[in-house]
């Protein structure tokens, strides 16, 4: 029998790449989707060398045409499309609402919210036809808690969380479950650099003194666990933080 197909957006780095590796190890054929195809090629080689299977698909979730291409790649896959991981997203800036960049806010909304909308709409028919579809939306604890300087990002993640909840209601009775993963403090190679426009010092300061922040593999483990439960089991929302982070505003730091 053909392997079930999992689609992971934002797969060129961080949580997306870790999730692609983990799902391939779980027996999925992974369509690893992202804008940077050079990185995707290396990821596919790594997955193949480990005994899994994957295909690189160039996809910009802010483009209707590009997302249509992803849907075409899914339709051409040899197995049923049973899993979609909406992971593409990110943050830009840490400015107060008073002086926040409209362009940054627009990018965050386009990528986190409208990207999830485009990809979900495009893949819903394939997920439903599989008879056992799962949609995972990687949001954030910023999707239900705000903080100073995070207005644009928390607004986008609140909207993404609203999409997940609404979609679950609308799909009730159809063979598609909707799972929301909300990570807290996760240290990856690029999230902070993108947020602070490449400033490595500012990116590192977020995690200064924090013992064992989460890493991408931790979140990938949560995604894989939720996605591999029996299909009648729906984990509506999984909130995951490092032990050092009791809440958005309460983080233990050493020194």
Whether 207 is a known active-site residue: answer: no
Cα–Cα distances in Å, from 31 out to 19, 52, 56, 99?
A: 11, 12, 6, 39
Q: In what order do the strands lie in the sheet with 81-86?
A: 53-58, 29-34, 5-9, 81-86, 133-138, 176-183, 237-240
Q: Is 204 helix (H, G, I), strand (E, B) or coil?
A: helix
Are 137 and 116 spatial neighbours (Cβ–Cβ below 8 Å)? yes
Round to whole Å and give the CA distance between 212 and 208.
Answer: 11
Q: Is 85 helix (H, G, I), strand (E, B) or coil?
A: strand
The conformation of residue 132, written as its DSSP 8-state character, comes to S
In 139-224, DSSP assigns E strands to 176-183
Strand pairing partners for 245?
251
Q: Spot the catalytic one: 109, 147, 153, 207.
A: 153
Tell me which residue of 20, 49, 56, 21 sits closest to 35, measured CA to CA. 56
Round to whole Å and give the CA distance between 4 and 86.
Answer: 17
Catalytic annotation, residues: 153
């Amino acid at each position: 029998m053909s392997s079930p197909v999992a689609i992971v957006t934002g797969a060129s780095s961080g949580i997306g790449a870790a999730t692609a590796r983990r799902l391939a190890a779980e027996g999925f054929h992974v369509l690893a989707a992202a804008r940077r195809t050079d990185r995707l090629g290396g990821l596919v080689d790594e997955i193949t060398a480990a005994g899994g299977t994957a295909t690189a698909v160039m996809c910009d979730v802010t483009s209707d045409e590009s997302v249509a291409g992803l849907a075409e790649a899914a339709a051409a896959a040899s197995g049923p499309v049973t899993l979609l991981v909406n992971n593409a997203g990110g943050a830009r800036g840490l400015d107060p609402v008073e002086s926040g960049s409209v362009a940054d806010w627009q990018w965050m909304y386009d990528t986190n919210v409208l990207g999830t909308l485009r990809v979900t709409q495009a893949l819903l028919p394939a997920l439903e036809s599989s008879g056992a579809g799962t949609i995972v939306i990687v949001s954030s604890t910023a999707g239900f808690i705000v903080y100073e300087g995070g207005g644009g990002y928390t607004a986008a993640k609140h909207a993404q969380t609203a999409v997940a909840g609404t979609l679950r209601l609308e799909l009730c009775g159809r063979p598609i479950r909707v799972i929301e993963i909300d990570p807290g403090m996760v240290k990856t190679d690029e999230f902070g650099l993108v947020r602070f426009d490449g400033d490595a010092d500012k990116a590192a300061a977020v995690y200064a003194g924090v013992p064992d922040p989460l890493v991408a593999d931790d979140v990938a483990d949560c995604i894989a666990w939720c996605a591999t439960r029996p299909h009648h089991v729906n984990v509506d929302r999984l909130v995951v933080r490092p032990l050092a982070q009791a809440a958005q505003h309460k983080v233990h730091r050493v020194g």
